Structure 1
């Protein structure tokens, strides 16, 4: 039981009078449930009925409470603003609409007025009302639901739950407003202390996002318009697209204590036979664990700006450049060039490592040049070459792939996958020192940034085509 005590405690009769409207709605709902028509309703029909009726009862309770506060509001003797300017006149009955999770209500309060200055409403401060019409509860729902999908889906879900009738544009504005403190939040977060022996891991990646026509940059919009003149009415012409993509760039910085491993911890030897025939496989050591993760991303900022922000965060954690900086990338030449340029400008040594998973994809392309589709032996073939790569044998792997193509008599398109793998490995050889990375306990995969690309960009932005701040 909740009791209200104090000199302003209302009597039961006063409560009944103040909340008569909501009590009447509740009584009507009870009568509706007691009527013969309700006796034949299914449970789903009863849920819908009660959901609608009780939402209105709750909204009316909210309204009745606000009406009670307005009735009891007492004029203040002195009201001044932050600059010390007073308000000497009042106007009772000033209205404003507040959209809540229960529906819209009307707030009535005293306005304090002065010549040439904005009116003040102390009751708004007591209620902590938002500047705009929508309540903090609706803003919270907009932020939560918008992070799960498109603004249109968020709008539909919010209205289904609350019946507030909020529009698409309002959901978008509330979500953007809820995000204004993100930078301040990250600035206030203090990573856990690290020693100079803790590697500092940086990662950068890009992901294409389909952009709505009205959000295209000027040059892209002009190019799209130039092609649009010859577009057919019922279908797209050859090479024509519904939308244009813009590259979203993401960055990550985190700490990871060294976790040395060997090749066997990554790939088991497919040619090793268990002498006993039934012995348990040796336990594999786990890789370094990420902690104190920091992420950033944008489709409006350039890749140069995002890379600079990543290095800013890294220098914030290691201003003296005393730790080992490891940069994980997917192999994109443009990103590697930007990272090297930023490192030179800041006078810091970085160890760039190309993500192992991307390298394995090239090995698999090469494997299908030598194996039939679905051939299980291709897996062992890839594992053998991957083990050589992990041991530092980049050139050895390149030579083995070229020899395999010659031995199989592959020509032209038949050896395309092998040629792509050879060119990739040869061009990225300096960034494929996995033997050094494993020995020193560094990560060799970009799972952190890949997850951000998948969940933040692909799952969130790619379904809306709308730019993100």
Structure 2
């Protein structure tokens, strides 16, 4: 049973509750529609809860015990204790004030054990508001997040403040994944690593040096919009990585390129336990290293088959090979077959007019040959046909580009082995990740991103996609307690009352 002193501490809350009850039972409430009643109660109940919050904080303040021996991280004793130090806290229910004891020493910052006990943030806004800012910012624009927070809580936050809170919320992203444990997959499952990039339109101060230099040289053609080629020099590449498990499904080339009348085709291997990461700050090598870290968590003894699905970018392939060598793990690199198909289709227009159905049969024939491990032969046949037809350099440009690609990537076009081993050969997972993590949120019309804001959104969307946000948030709050509070005391430990 609550004591009389406890009841006294919550007298303001009792008074507020009685006001709500009085209104609900009065004639004014009886004349309201249900929507008007909901609107009125949502405000009144939020204020009631805010008052309960305030009364609780005041009760804690009245019960706070003075400690004799409080030592800071530098070994200084704070022997002077002063009551009545108050700070504000903006919560999801509204603003409250926190009153606590200050442990003082001349020339040193005050220590507040009450702040440490509550794990208060350094800034005005509570961890609850920061969490809400993180969730809503990852879903839609910062303007939409600001409106959502106001609608949900009644608290007004500026757009810039929401962006800063979201950025602050992901400071422990890398540390979280360094400490997280993973269930090791079945040894028979294939471990797939995949990387790709997607450009984000950035503000001038957030571009990489080379891009900023190119943008500075570009001459604007129009005042109201970017012309062709200008937008390219306003983008910074976001590197995206994925790791997932696949149960092998043995297939044949005809399962990939078959006729419409074929009814029985082996299904493509399905991705499971997908994990995503992305960064617009880190380069491709750093993101690939993070991808290898996740793969190692799943298979620390390297007993499983590791494959890397890429689109053929040389820098990515070089980084994967270097990382695999450093870690002493064998990784089979496979170029995305969809990219190969695009090159084959492009080469077809060197020999056929647009829309000619004969082009489809030729592309299918060449694609089957590539799937059978004959990429070099296909490249030679494309060049030979272009020569035999006497095509001029411009007409045969697409054909030569395709042949060059097939020859340059032939070591990574071993689809025959991939199909026999049951590996995936298309990078749909990483393509989907680029769309979900980057395009759907950061490619909004007219958006120009700063570096911190873009990086925060990428990490928040990755956490949510991975299903790790709730676990991350608990980890983040523990780290905040250490950073903001525990690290200020001797031995990194908050002293407790005897």
**TM-score normalized with structure 2 length:** 0.75
Matched, 1:282 2:264: yes
Inter-partner Cα distance in structure 1 for 2:64 and 2:186: 60
Residues in 2 aligned to 1:364 and 1:199: alpha-carbon distance in whole angstroms:
30
SS of residue in 1 equivalent to 2:200: strand
Q: Is the 8 A contact 1:264 1:284 kept in 2?
A: no
**CA displacement at 1:100 relative to structure 2:** 0.7
Q: Which runs of 5+ in 1 are unaligned?
A: 273-280
Specify the alignment match of 1:362 in structure 2.
Answer: 343
Match in the other structure for 2:20 = 26
Match of 2:3 in 1: 9
SS in 2 for 1:147: helix
Counterpart of 1:246 in structure 2 is 236
* Number of equivalent positions: 449
SS in 1 for 2:124: coil
State the partner residue of 1:174: 165
What is the CA distance between 1:97 and its match in structure 2? 0.6
Which residue in 2 is equivalent to 1:145?
136
Match of 1:35 among 21, 28, 37: 28
CA positional deviation for 1:329: 0.7
2:66/2:81 contact within 8 Å kept: no
1:277 is aligned to none
Contact 2:204 2:234 in 1 (8 A): yes
TM-superposed CA distance for 1:96, in Å, is: 0.8
- Aligned partners of 1:79 and 1:112 also within 8 Å: no
Residue 60 (structure 2) pairs with residue 78 (structure 1)? no
Which of 195, 200, 205 is the matching residue for 1:209?
200
Name the structure 1 match of 2:314.
333
CA RMSD of aligned residues (A): 3.9
Write out aligned runs for 1:45-444 (5 A).
Answer: 45-70=36-61, 72-76=62-66, 78=68, 80-81=70-71, 86-193=77-184, 199-227=190-218, 233=223, 240-241=230-231, 244-270=234-260, 281-282=263-264, 284-287=266-269, 289-291=271-273, 293-311=274-292, 313-314=294-295, 323-343=304-324, 349-366=330-347, 382-398=363-379, 417-444=398-425
How far apart are the structure 2 equivalents of 1:213 and 1:350? Answer: 38
Q: CA deviation at 1:435?
A: 0.8
TM-score, normalized by length of structure 1? 0.79
CA contact (8 A) 2:132 2:149 kept: yes
| Aligned equivalents of 1:341, 1:122: Cα separation in 2 | 49
CA contact (8 A) 1:79 1:87 kept: yes
Q: 1:12 to 1:323 in 2, by over 3 A?
A: closer
Do the aligned residues in 1 keep the contact of 2:191 with 2:243 (CA within 8 Å)? yes
Rg larger in structure: 1
* RCO comparison, higher one (Cα < 8 Å, 6+): 2
User: Quick one: structure 1 residues 262 and 34, their matched pair in 2 at CA, closer, same or farther if it must change by over 3 Å?
Assistant: farther
Gaps of 5+ in 2: 457-498
CA distance in 2, matches of 1:157, 1:242: 33
Mapped to 1, the partners of 2:178 and 2:311 lie a distance apart of 28
Alignment partner, residue 450 of structure 2: 466
Task: Report the CA distance between 1:332 and its aligned residue.
Answer: 1.6
CA displacement at 1:432 relative to structure 2: 1.2
